[in-house]
Amino acid sequence: MSTQTSSHPIRIFIGSSPKNLIEERVFCYSLLKSASQSMEIYIIDGVTGSAKNIVTGDVKTLPADIAGRIKGATAFSLARWAIPEWCNYQGRAIYCDSDQLVMSDVAELWNYDLVDSVFAAVPVKQAKCYKHYIEDSMNGFLNTEEVFYLASVMLIDCAKVKWSINELVELLDRNAFSLPSLMYLGEHFRKHFNLSVTAIPSEWNHLDYVDRDSKIVHFTDLTSQPWRFHHNPISDLWEQFFLAALDENAVTQDEIDTAYANGWITGRIKALAHMPKIVRRPLNRIWRSWSAAIFNLSTVLKQQKRWLRAGWFKLTSWTSIRA
């Protein structure tokens, strides 16, 4: 990997929201656990779009006329593009989603040689993914000649950025490029600003997938995130970090109780946090395996039911036509 060494604190912005509280805490724990350089960590609030420094409490906000236009789901997505502006168009910044684990020293990414590019990110076609996510969400980006990138982990050269967040929203309103082109660093977005993206190895954004090379593991499939479901194939990995964060007070019992009360984590995850250490791992494996088996069986039965209904509809339609 080509790198250039920087002695500045690693400046990282994490896209999150109140409902992402637990995975955010676990992500920060994993990030700090492996970091070899000092860090400035900002949490981007997915509701307001503002970013808050977790140590100093310093808050960076979106322009007032923009904040009201991108509330809700899009605040989380679009606020990341204000990072260069928040950094006064100086230095570097890293962006990550909160539903991730850092398995390696993020200083390696921070010091990656951008050459003349504005961004560094993993090309979509090089991403390693859990099969279900490829089939369910990635096909549209894979079955095309256009090059897209995963903007859920990005290294940004803020000094090379040529836009404000106001301008980006206006350009989206005028259909200068599409939202998917922006969110995946697509060709139309890149051409509009005449910018390039440096490809980084896929291990910096493994999607519900882990191997010995993984540096960031991203639990991106919303239908199998291990704090909300039981059937993710690498649940054990996230739970190991969750329990370590709990044991080292990086996540508190009060936060876990709040998350459960709001439906942000399963009862199993809450119970896991309250179990005696000596029994929680074996009991959790049994509980998770049983719950996953029930979930998978229910999924198969629902699919069979849909197929039967579809077949019955075809049969009755054919019969009606014959009649």
**Within this chain, do residues 68 and 34 fall inside the same structural domain, yes or no?**
yes
Mean predicted lDDT score pLDDT of the chain:
87
Whether 214 is covered by a domain: the verdict is: no
pLDDT value at residue 6: 56
Q: Say yes or no to pLDDT of 78 above 90.
A: no
Whether 43 is covered by a domain: the verdict is: yes
Query: pLDDT tens digit string along 137-159?
Result: 676 777 788 899 999 999 999 99
Q: Say yes or no to pLDDT of 134 above 70.
A: no
Instruction: Compute the average pLDDT of residues 110-115.
Output: 95
Pair 96, 14: CB distance under 8 Å: yes
Helical H runs in the chain? 21-34, 64-67, 73-78, 83-86, 107-110, 131-133, 139-142, 165-173, 179-183, 187-193, 235-247, 253-261, 267-274, 277-322
Written as six digits, the tokens of 28 are 């920060």
pLDDT value at residue 285: 81
**Rounded to whole angstroms, what are the CA distances from 82 to 37, 125, 167, 199, 242?**
24, 26, 10, 22, 30
pLDDT value at residue 133: 65
Q: Is 9 helix (H, G, I), strand (E, B) or coil?
A: coil
Q: What percentage of the chain has pLDDT greater than the value 70? A: 86
Q: Say yes or no to pLDDT of 13 above 60.
A: yes
pLDDT value at residue 71: 56
- Which domain covers residue 44, as residue numbers? 10-207
**Within this chain, do residues 141 and 234 fall inside the same structural domain, yes or no?**
no
The upper half-sphere exposure of residue 15, i.e. CA atoms within 13 Å in the direction of its Cβ, equals 25
Q: Is 100 helix (H, G, I), strand (E, B) or coil?
A: strand
**Within this chain, do residues 184 and 88 fall inside the same structural domain, yes or no?**
yes
CATH code of the domain containing 142? 3.90.550.10
Please calculate the CA angle 229-235-237 and round it to the nearest 5 degrees.
150
DSSP3 helix / strand / coil % (the chain, rounded to 5): 50, 15, 35
Residue at a domain's end among 146, 181, 207? 207
pLDDT value at residue 70: 66
Instruction: Compute the average pLDDT of residues 218-233.
Output: 91
**Within this chain, do residues 233 and 190 fall inside the same structural domain, yes or no?**
no
Q: How confident is the model at residue 36 (pLDDT cuts 50, 70, 90)?
A: very high
Q: Say yes or no to pLDDT of 234 above 80.
A: yes
pLDDT value at residue 74: 54
Residue at a domain's end among 143, 175, 207? 207
pLDDT value at residue 65: 78
Number of domains, the chain: 2
Q: What percentage of the chain has pLDDT greater than the value 90? A: 62
- Amino acid letter for position 64: A
Task: Report the side by side order of strands in the sheet with 197-199.
Answer: 59-60, 51-53, 39-45, 10-16, 92-97, 149-157, 119-123, 197-199
Written as six digits, the tokens of 77 are 């997505």
C-alpha to C-alpha distance for 1 and 96, rounded to whole angstroms:
20
pLDDT value at residue 124: 92
Whether 300 is covered by a domain: the verdict is: yes
pLDDT value at residue 322: 55
Q: Say yes or no to pLDDT of 172 above 80.
A: yes
Q: How confident is the model at residue 136 (pLDDT cuts 50, 70, 90)?
A: low
Query: pLDDT tens digit string along 249-288?
Result: 999 999 999 999 999 999 999 999 888 888 887 888 887 8
Whether 219 is covered by a domain: the verdict is: no
**Within this chain, do residues 200 and 232 fall inside the same structural domain, yes or no?**
no
Bridge partners of 279? Answer: none
